[in-house]
Structure 1
Amino acid sequence: MSSITKRVLSQLSLVILTLVILAILFFVGIYLGYVVVGKGDSSEAFKPATWQHILDFVK
């Protein structure tokens, strides 16, 4: 492989790793915010009906 290809692959892997870490932190934040801060039930943290209710409330 040429050095340019290696650099592009290296940068692309860093971008993908960053996106994966951000996604994980997003879901951890949802869980902590709903369960710990909001005192909600942990089984309902990711149910679509819960988030539809929240979106309806915000609108």
Structure 2
Amino acid sequence: MKKPNQLRKILEQSHQDFVKNPDRLQLYVDGGQVVATGSTSLSFEYRYTLNIICRRSNLI
């Protein structure tokens, strides 16, 4: 499950506030399962729901 970490890194690069305040960006994985692809090779894929919570900074 490299995708959530890659997405977090991209979001942090695009918005420096997430680096300064990492609690404002939360990623949660729900309902994951491993699924066989059915191809001739022994490959599989992860299927899951990724929840992203972004809290904005106080503007006052």
The normalised TM-score by structure 1 is 0.30
Greater RCO between the two (CA within 8 Å, min separation 6)? Answer: 2
The normalised TM-score by structure 2 is 0.30
Point out the structure with the larger strand share: 2
Larger Cα Rg: Structure 1 or Structure 2?
Answer: 1
